[in-house]
A and B are shown apart, each in its own frame.
Chain A
Amino acid sequence: MNAGHNAVLFEFTSGRHAAIGMHEVAELVISPMLVPVPLAPDYCHSLCVWQNRVIPFAELAPLIGQRSLEKFRLALIVTYFARSNGEQKWGALGLFSYFRMVSVGDDAACLLPHDSSAWATIAHSCFQLANENVPILNLDALFEQRLAFVS
């Protein structure tokens, strides 16, 4: 691990990436145990059983009107503090491949992608990496409310 790395970058659909803060990563789980929830939204369709906790499992692609790549192989377990009460919470993000760590500085800040109105709600900010605008997720916004953009 490079001491300068402060973000985790992952691909959520073909050629598209999002990021979270390094401090928000709890664990990467291979072949997560998922339990589908009847009538749940497409982007948040299952519960994930992790370390005897039951946590929501989310995927970004349906939320912004993109197709998922394939069946999930990995779950990135993330942690955050709920804005409403400061309680520590956990969630899982579906990944198709391993994430990578990157260093992000203020000089890379850019506008959010324009392909979905969801980004304004579920992203804190955005940075440019190569030719891509990469949103940095707001996990509280993603997991602590019912979103209804596309799904």
Chain B
Amino acid sequence: MNAAAAGFALICFDGLNLLIDQRAVVSLENITKLRGVNDDMKTSEVMEGNACEVHSLTANLVVTNKVDARCHYIIVLQADEHRFGITVDSVMSLPIQDTKLHSLPACMNISESPIKAYIQNEDRIAFCCDVNTLWWHINSSENRHECRT
């Protein structure tokens, strides 16, 4: 995976540890920058000054009804031609040139999933997440509790 050369951002939310290619990270914002668009669009709020949708995800990558106010930060990501944010509890840079990426076992490998690999650090597991596939996953209606109108 080419991302190993640039390193990863390790983001955490809802107990899930995700590794994101650092080249896909646009910025890290404080959650206080969020402003709601309207009451009917709670899944897709917009950040001031850098308009993009912001989502909260569960540990199973399901989009939640409301942005999780317990999260402190928003990480803004760039997928192909789309910019979006997700709320996170924490973010740290992870230079992992020496860390081995493992493919998921064949029985868990789903072609549409943004999760294809993981790293292990003793008992801690972090999953590598492809940002382009994550964007498509978030925007497919079946993965949203509440569809936009």
Contacts and interface: CB of A to CB of B under 8 A. Distances in A.
Interface of A: 33, 35-41, 44, 47, 49, 52, 54-56, 58, 91, 142-147
Contacts of B122: 52
Contacts of A142: 107
B108 A41 contact: yes
Main SS of the interface on chain A? mixed
Interface of B: 16, 59-61, 102, 104-110, 113-115, 118, 120, 122-123, 125, 127, 137
B105 A143 contact: yes
B123 A49 contact: yes
A146 B108 contact: yes
Given A55-B105, A145-B107, A38 B123 contact: no
Nearest to A47: B125
Contact of B107 (A33, A36, A39, A44): A44
A54 B122 CA distance: 10
Candidate in B104, B106, B110 with the most chain A CB atoms within 10 angstroms = B106
B23 to A, nearest CB: 22
Given A44-B108, A146-B106, 4 more contacts: A38-B60, A41-B108, A56-B107, A147-B107
Given A47-B125, A55-B105, A38 B120 contact: no
Given A38-B16, A39-B61, A54 B106 contact: no
A38 B115 contact: yes
B118 A54 contact: yes
A58 B108 CA distance: 10
B60 A36 contact: yes
A64 B125 CA distance: 29
Contacts of A47: 105, 108, 118, 125
Contacts of A37: 104, 108, 115, 127
16 contacts: A36-B59, A38-B127, A39-B113, A39-B114, A40-B104, A40-B113, A41-B110, A44-B107, A47-B108, A47-B118, A49-B125, A56-B107, A56-B108, A143-B105, A145-B106, A145-B107
A47 B125 CA distance: 9
A49 B123 CA distance: 7
A39 B115 contact: yes
Given A49-B123, A54-B118, A38 B61 contact: yes
Contacts of A55: 105
B106 A143 contact: yes
A144 B107 CA distance: 6
A37 B103 CA distance: 12
A47 B110 CA distance: 15
Contacts of B113: 38-40
Contact of A39 (B60, B106, B118, B123): B60
Nearest to A141: B107
